[in-house]
Amino acid sequence: MCGIVAAIGDIDVSSCRNMLHRIAHRGPDDTGEVRKHNVWLGHQRLSIMDVEGGHQPMTHAPTGTYLVVNGEIYNHRHIRQDLGHALFETGSDSEAALHALVIDGPAGLARLRGMFALAFATEDGDFLAARDSLGVKPLYWARRDGVTLFASELRAFDPADRPLVETFPPGHCWSPEGGLVRFADAVPAHVRPARRAAEPEWDSSLVKAVREAIVSSVEHRMMSDVGVGVFLSGGLDSAIVAAVAAEYAARQDQPLPTFAVGSEGSSDLLAARHVAEYLQAKHHNIEHHEIPMSRQDAVEALPRAVRAIEHFDPSLVRSAVPNLLLAEYASQHVHAVLTGEGADELFAGYPYYHQEPFTSPEALQAELVRTVRELHHLNLQRCDRASMAFGLEAREPFLDRDVVEFVLSIPPEYKMVRPGVPEKQLLREAFDGWLPNEILHRGKEQFGDGAGAKELLEDAVRDLPEVAAADGVELRNREEAGYYAIWKRELDGIRPSATLGLFATT
């Protein structure tokens, strides 16, 4: 996990370096840059794989090519086998992306399984930028006369360029010659149509397949040379991730740090403690950490959270405050953490999925697909920024490409609530016996609410100034108007309609 900046065209090297400096928090371990003709690449590194040999920009001297990557390529070992180990000079997963592009050109992006935003260049000045299909890793760009700029965060851009900044679309690549081209879809066409289930109940083979897909994804995301922890909210999704990770770590004879945050007596803190104690009794490798959150902690973290997530949506801000405190503490112990992001969007965990107008299988399927495709505007933005504010990599096993395609191909009837069948029942059955029953059957509670942030922030919201919205953004309530005031102060010049896609689509 890192931060990248790239430019092609009429380059101002000093400006590019300033952009990179503004996102130094994303990669505190190393920095690097390269200029070739009209291309400049910059990289801030968080060292996780091949700590000694993974410096970027990565280069392949025989072909005169250069690469900067923000993310992780989880299938890098398979790519090494396919392309030949003799090509590789480091143990970095990013080198797999370099050689895939050298050998296959833009088509090599199809080889990559993982989360990434990258920029690739040659000695002759050829250039390619790309972002993973779900947009797990952020990428923004600004196009003006003579130059095109790319960066991992909005704040990287110079104030003069901020009105031009747009979200680089997930699953796309761009080159000066070919323009913007889609190379992958977050939800491929063959999994989009709702399929009518012949029977209202699923069989054991589907339960087993769900479990195996998630276990495999978690195990792939344990890849690290510096250790991995788990953000444990005590909810079903993060508890499942922790249970699988604990079993995997025990087989490797490794400890598993888990991290929970909340106000005193909050439901998340108590539930996470229960999960940690259960897994410790089972595997004897859990190192559980609790981060208490007082009202003062929450109020002081509020402007930092808005600035970090580059967003003002109330549900995201309420979640970001405890997320930021959690990441700040966890970054002192590990370089990477697993999270439960994405499970609700795949298995219909939110209450609104089971209300009108989504009560038919077809409507539910369409809404699940829509929200998966919009994750990069919402929870993934919050998760990435809150963790990377402290140079901490967040990994989301539920958003593995194979998991997404498989779970969205399951008949939507199996995700619908009916008498005796709560939300996410299929997921609960898949991990029966892996967790305490109280956790396995715990109802849905938003992260910020379960951690107590909503209550702690109520007074702070009343004290925030209100400002008028701009660019056609409708501020939906007093709370959002207060957060927008912070957002506008911290990201002056950014157009909300260009960067906060949910407001343009809802």
Q: Rounded to 5, what percent of the chain is helix, strand, coil?
A: 45, 20, 35
Cβ atoms 68, 4 nearer than 8 A: yes
Domain limits, the chain: 2-182, 189-463, 464-506
pLDDT tens per residue, range 16-51: 999 999 999 998 788 999 999 999 999 998 766 556
Work out the pLDDT band at 463, boundaries 50, 70, 90: confident
Tokens of 167: 């979200």
10 Å CB burial of residue 357 (0-12, 13-18, 19+) is exposed
CA-only gyration radius of the chain, Å: 22
Check residues 90 and 15 and name the one with the higher pLDDT.
15
Identify the pLDDT of residue 29: 84
What percent of the chain is modeled with pLDDT above 90?
72
Query: What value, to the nearest 5°, has the Cα angle with vertex 168 and ends 123 and 490?
Result: 110
Identify the pLDDT of residue 442: 85
| CA pair distance 153, 335, nearest whole angstrom | 20
Work out the pLDDT band at 505, boundaries 50, 70, 90: very low
Interhelix angle 453-463/478-490, nearest 10 degrees: 70
Residue 411's φ and ψ, nearest 5 degrees, are: -50, 130
Query: Under DSSP, is residue 214 helix (H, G, I), strand (E, B) or coil?
Result: helix
Query: At the topology level of CATH, where does 2-182 sit?
Result: Glutamine Phosphoribosylpyrophosphate, subunit 1, domain 1 (3.60.20)
Q: Is it the case that residue 502 has pLDDT exceeding 50?
A: no
Residue position matching structure tokens 């992006």:
109
What percent of the chain is modeled with pLDDT above 70?
92
Q: Is it the case that residue 500 has pLDDT exceeding 70?
A: no
Tokens of 459: 């007074």
Identify the pLDDT of residue 487: 87
pLDDT tens per residue, range 176-232: 999 999 999 999 887 755 567 667 789 999 999 999 999 999 999 998 877 899 999
Q: Is it the case that residue 103 has pLDDT exceeding 80?
A: yes
Identify the pLDDT of residue 49: 59
- What DSSP string runs through 243-259? HHHHHHHHHTT--EEEE
Mean pLDDT of the chain: 90
Cβ atoms 64, 150 nearer than 8 A: no
Identify the pLDDT of residue 503: 36
By annotation, the residues acting in catalysis are 2
CATH class of the structural domain 189-463? alpha beta
Question: Do the domains 189-463 and 2-182 match in fold?
Answer: no
